[in-house]
Amino acid sequence: MRSRWYFLLVLVLGFSVTALAGESVVLRSGSRIHVDRHEAEGARLRLFNGEGFVEMDASLVTGFEPDDLGTPPVPAPAPAPAIVPTLPALSPQDLADQAADKYGLPRKLVRAVMAAESGYSQQAISRKGAIGLMQLMPETAQTLGVDPRDPAQNVDGGARYLRDLLAKYDGYLWHTLAAYNAGPAAVDRYNGIPPYAETIDYVKRIDAILRKAD
């Protein structure tokens, strides 16, 4: 009888290795056996595990206790993504004013240069390859460290270049505008506005815009 009991115990324990839930059979010896469920038939007990079962005398068992596998932890809710407000894109005029304020230039001057250069358009490309709102040449943009295809960087770089030219020519506006259009080398060569029809017209157009703005 004893050997048969140990055989049953080993068999039940073998089944219990893979069990995930069920109940514990409390034996008179104080041991516990994990099973999926049990059935009583008179003085016999059937203990089920997986697809099999074993039988034993009911007198060997003092009770049954449901297994407490613990409540699985509820994962903390993922933090809600931060809502970054989408700022409206600045208009060309606002970009001009922002850059003018940054570099201490009159707002109407930066707007007038932008109007003459590109007509306030980022898509404007000149015959010589100048890009965008204030028509930066690629090599000039590279020197300034800006991306001429980005409107904000384009206008920032153009306003900074305009400020540097004003400083170079001691505040002489026509010299500055001519250098912005034809390049400082041409202005230095002629010691003033070079005799280029395009540059002369450019300076006159901006001067007219500034006078009208007043």
Clarify whether 117 is annotated catalytic.
Answer: yes
- How many whole angstroms separate alpha carbon 118 and alpha carbon 15? 83
- For the chain, give the longest Cα–Cα distance: 123
Cβ neighbours, 10 Å, residue 91: 11
- How many whole angstroms separate alpha carbon 20 and alpha carbon 58? 24
From the list 51, 55, 65, 117, the catalytic residue is 117
Q: Tokens standing for 72?
A: 């699985």
Task: State the catalytic residues.
Answer: 117
